[in-house]
Amino acid sequence: MSDPVLRNCRVLIAEDEFLLADELQADLEEAGAIVIGPVSALADAIALIEVEQHIDAAILDANLGGEMVFPAADLLIARGVTIVFTTGYDASIIPSRFGTVTRCEKPTNIKSIIPLIERSMQG
């Protein structure tokens, strides 16, 4: 990652698997982003959303330790935050109200997530 395309972009990570969260954090920071979190549970995510004034984007694992991440997603969308779901499930698990939300299947490819966030920042 030579070009920090996400410079100063504040990205929330909610991912219950430490290794994946750690990896994602490293990749985003390498791309210049400021990572909020990561958090491994829904309650932590919601708490963080409530205290963080400034969130540009969020990468949310659909299933956080057995809890669905959708309440947090609703809060973020209400604030106009760009979100990306990462999930091992197929599309049917995502409620239809998130029809326009990008869904990345695990194992996720960071190279496909970064441009999504970059585009939303410009737009």
Partner 1 sequence: MVGQNEFARRQRVLSEFGGFVLDHDDLDEILDEACRLIAEALDSDLAAILEIDRRTNTGLVRAGVGWNPGIVGRKCVSLAERSSEAFAVGRTEPVITNDIAHEERFEFSSFLRDHGVIAVVNVPILLPGRDPYGVLQVDAREPRHFNQEDIEFLRTYAMVLGPVIDRLKTAVALRETDERLRLVVENARAYVLMVSDADDRIIDWLGGSQEILGWSSSEVLGKRTDIIFTDEDRTAGVPAQELSGARENGSAASRRSHQRKDGTRVFLDGQTIALKDPAGKLRGYLKIGQDVTERLRAETALRESEERLRHFGEASRDILWMRDVETLQWQYLTPAFETIYGLNRDQAVSGDNFRNWLDLILPEDRERAIDASNRVRGGEHVAFDYRIRRPVDGSIRWLRDTAFPIINADGEVAFIAGVGHDLTELRETERRLQVLMEGIPQLVWRAVGEGDWTWSGPQWTEHTGLTPEESRGLGWLDALHPDDRDAARRAWKEAPQKARLDLEARICHAATHEWHWFQTRALPVRDEFGSITEWLGTSTDIHDIRELQERQQVLVAELQHRTRNLMAVVRSLSDKTARASADLPDFRTRFRDRLEALSRVQGLLSRLNDHDRVTFDELVMAELEALDGTADRVSLIGPKGVRLRSSTVQTLAMALHELATNAVKYGALGQPQARLKIAWALQPEGKVGAPWLHVDWRESNVAMPAGLHPGGGQGRDLIERALPYQLKAKTTFELGPDGVHCTVSLPVSASSSLREPANV
Interface ranges with partner 1 (CB under 8 A): 16-23, 38, 40, 63, 65-66, 87-90, 92-93, 105-108
When the beta carbons of 22 and 47 are compared against partner 1, the nearer one is 22
Q: Least Å distance between CB 78 and partner 1?
A: 26
38 token code pair? 């990561």
Radius of gyration in angstroms for the set of CA atoms belonging to the chain, rounded to a whole number: 13
Nearest approach in angstroms of CB 122 to partner 1 is 28
- Closest distance between partner 1 and the C-beta of residue 51, in Å? 19
Which residue lies nearer to partner 1 by CB, 23 or 74? Answer: 23
**Whether residue 38 has a cis bond before it, omega within 30° of 0:** yes
DSSP codes of every residue in 11-57 = EEEE-S-HHHHHHHHHHHHHTT-EEEEEESSHHHHHHHHHH-S---E
